[in-house]
Amino acid sequence: MSNSDKKQLREGSHPMRRATDKKPQKLMLTIKDVAKLLHHRSRIDDEQYEMILKRGDAQAARLNSHLPKNLAKKEIYLPELASPAQVITSFSLEIPATQKKLTEDAITELIAQASGMEYIKIDPLKLELDVVTDQIPRAFALKNLVVPIDEKEGVVTIAVADPFNVRPIEDLQHALGIQIKRIFASRSDVLKILEEFFGFQASVKAAQVDMGLSSELSNLEQLFKMRGRDEIESSDQHIISAVEFLLKYAFDQRASDIHIEPKRDKSSIRFRVDGVLHNIHTVPVNLHPAIVSRLKLLSRLDVAEKRRPQDGRIKTEHMAKDIELRVSTLPVAFGEKVVIRIFDPEILMQKLDRIGFYQREYKLYSEFIRKPNGIVLVTGPTGSGKTTTLYSSLKTIASPEINIITVEDPIEMVMEDFNQVGVQSAIDVTFGTVLRNILRQDPDVLMIGEIRDADTANNAVQAALTGHLVLSTLHTNDAPSSITRLLDIGIPAFLITSTINGIIAQRLLRSICQECKYETTLTDEEITYLDLEKKDYKVWEGKGCDECRGTGYKGRTGIFEVLEFTERLKAKITDRTDMTEIYAIAKADGMVSLRELAMQKMFEGHTTFKEIVSVTG
Ligand SMILES: [Zn+2]
């Protein structure tokens, strides 16, 4: 095929396409067809079936009047129609006798089965960007709602949103001289991927065109020599939209971090999702500085400073929610590496009774933080959710009548309700120096990010003794051992007993995915490990499904070991405290250990045996 053929095809003006262009092929699958199928396979009952027949068309018309705005008016006609599966999904039906929602995925999978096609739930984190955006022309993909999935031995597999839209794909096969295998995916998935992937990629390509670069990567080297590496401006409209697409995509994927890393000949973009890094995009190396500059500008960093690490933040919005981004840059061999940490206020700041507390622990902890003065310690390793507990606690007690000051290293999330001070050791703004001056700021409540040394600990004690409530964290394994830690730091026993309101230790346990949860029993080995009486124990696990990316877990819940400073306990805290004795008294006074709390979560079906072993080991 000639180059002009290819060009015409890319632009959608190839003669082979014209016949179908003029008169769009009608979707052959009707709402009625799909409703029949669902009814036949018992996914809906008689009543639901009748309702769909009666209201389906009107519902479709309503949906079609709300097109996704970015795609709506551009280059598409076929996708303008909501698929029958989407129309039926929009009724939010429950599958009879299951309490499960009838989802677009479930309907799509059923249609695939019935039509003998393979079904795929597209996981955007597993797609290879080069394949997705290079194999099939963008205009064609958008027009026909197809997403290239992979290429193996000359066969390009594509996901299609409409199983009956065959002609254009046959034409393309012909024109490009490639073999195409079609598999079926939900229309919502296909639209989402097309918008996000091609949106980002289109911006990147357009930015290159602005630079006078062709979009072919092979020409880049040559152009480096012609033009400066930093030629493209971060103010370039395409760079601005590429960064926007990237952030939006990260929010949609529930990513916790974005890594943008310069390599010798490309820049790679990765997301961390549920603790694991995934490759997302590769962009031409010459655009890396512009993307980094744009992010530095947004986070108010010094754009010209490229040899020193910098930290900044961006406050933005997604789906009517504030989101806070912490941006950090680091000079590496091939340029500046950027890591963006994403803070979702809904996770960092929650209602205290929603983060996993059991009633007894919740009641005690609430009393600790409602006292007018004293120290409340939250302990646990990094990543155990201490910051969420602290922020949520401060939010609970915040009111216009009290002055809350936090000293953090660094500030995790900027909150208007609190006065926050970030530690900056480089200019000698340390925990110590801030705390020495902070009482003059007349705080009622003080939050100290972490007690690491004697200086900070003494300041906390002084603040508590002078009538302030102090919340802080300690890096210890359980609540009772915090007492030894404080003694080791050099706080005398009588100051510990007179200032501490209470101590909690916490962990986060992954929650079992509700979609693929199944019942099982503990094995003999597991029973022995947990030191339980020999009998049958009912527990649950997650099999792994699309909803949880095959992990069997979704979301996390906290467990909180609460050490109450009872008179009996205080009497035993001396400069030569015996830990076993402290532990015994705490237990006798009602303390439930992390392990016991974790087991309770397991027996209630919130988490698994494996998870409690890995977290409370
Ligand atoms: Zn699952």
For the chain, the residue count is 617
Residue 79's pLDDT is 54
DSSP 328-381: EEEEETTEEEEEEEEE-HHHHS--GGGSS--HHHHHHHHHHHHSSSEEEEEE--
CA of 141 to the centre of ligand 1 (A): 30
Provide block-wise average pLDDT over 10 residues at a time, the chain (617 residues).
45 38 54 93 94 91 67 47 88 89 92 89 74 71 84 85 84 84 90 78 73 44 36 68 87 89 91 81 85 92 91 86 90 93 83 93 97 96 90 93 91 85 84 87 93 92 95 93 93 95 96 94 95 94 86 91 95 88 94 96 96 91
CA of 348 to the centre of ligand 1 (A): 24
CA of 517 to the centre of ligand 1 (A): 7
CA of 540 to the centre of ligand 1 (A): 12
d(CA 253, CA 250) in angstroms, rounded, equals 5
Residue 383's closest CA among 430, 340, 341, 338? 341
Residues linked to residue 503 through DSSP beta bridges, in sequence order: 377, 563
CA of 541 to the centre of ligand 1 (A): 10
Residue 281's pLDDT is 82
Q: Residue 21: enclosing H or E segment and its boundaries?
A: helix 15-22
Residues linked to residue 562 through DSSP beta bridges, in sequence order: 504
CA of 122 to the centre of ligand 1 (A): 15
Please, are residues 460 and 470 in contact by the beta-carbon 8 Å criterion?
Answer: yes
CA of 142 to the centre of ligand 1 (A): 30
**β pairing state of 310-318 and 404-408:** unpaired
Please, are residues 565 and 495 in contact by the beta-carbon 8 Å criterion?
Answer: no
CA of 401 to the centre of ligand 1 (A): 46
d(CA 15, CA 375) in angstroms, rounded, equals 77
CA of 182 to the centre of ligand 1 (A): 26
520 phi and psi angles, rounded to 5 deg: -150, -175
DSSP 243-263: HHHHHHHHHHTT-SEEEEEE-
Residue 129's pLDDT is 60
CA of 515 to the centre of ligand 1 (A): 5
Residue 260's closest CA among 315, 322, 325, 193? 325
CA of 352 to the centre of ligand 1 (A): 27
Q: Residue 485: enclosing H or E segment and its boundaries?
A: helix 481-489
501 contacts: CB under 8 Å, gap ≥ 6: 367, 368, 369, 371, 374, 375, 376, 565
CA of 7 to the centre of ligand 1 (A): 44
Domains of the chain with CATH codes: 3-187 (3.30.300.160), 211-343 (3.30.450.90), 347-511+555-593 (3.40.50.300)
CA of 577 to the centre of ligand 1 (A): 47
| Cα angle, residue 176 at apex, residues 182 and 81 outer, rounded to 5° | 45
Q: End-to-end CA distance of the chain: give it in Å, rounded.
A: 63
d(CA 379, CA 376) in angstroms, rounded, equals 10
d(CA 344, CA 365) in angstroms, rounded, equals 24
The one-character DSSP state at 398 is: -
CA of 313 to the centre of ligand 1 (A): 34
CA of 554 to the centre of ligand 1 (A): 7
**E-assigned strand segments in 460-611:** 469-474, 500-512, 517-521, 538-542, 553-564
The one-character DSSP state at 439 is: G
Residue 78's closest CA among 139, 9, 34, 7? 139
- Is the torsion defined by CA of 186, 192, 193, 198 positive or negative? positive
175 phi and psi angles, rounded to 5 deg: -65, -40
> CA dist 610 to 513, 528, 542, 601, Å?
14, 14, 11, 12
85 phi and psi angles, rounded to 5 deg: -65, -40
CA of 550 to the centre of ligand 1 (A): 6
CA of 232 to the centre of ligand 1 (A): 44
CA of 161 to the centre of ligand 1 (A): 24
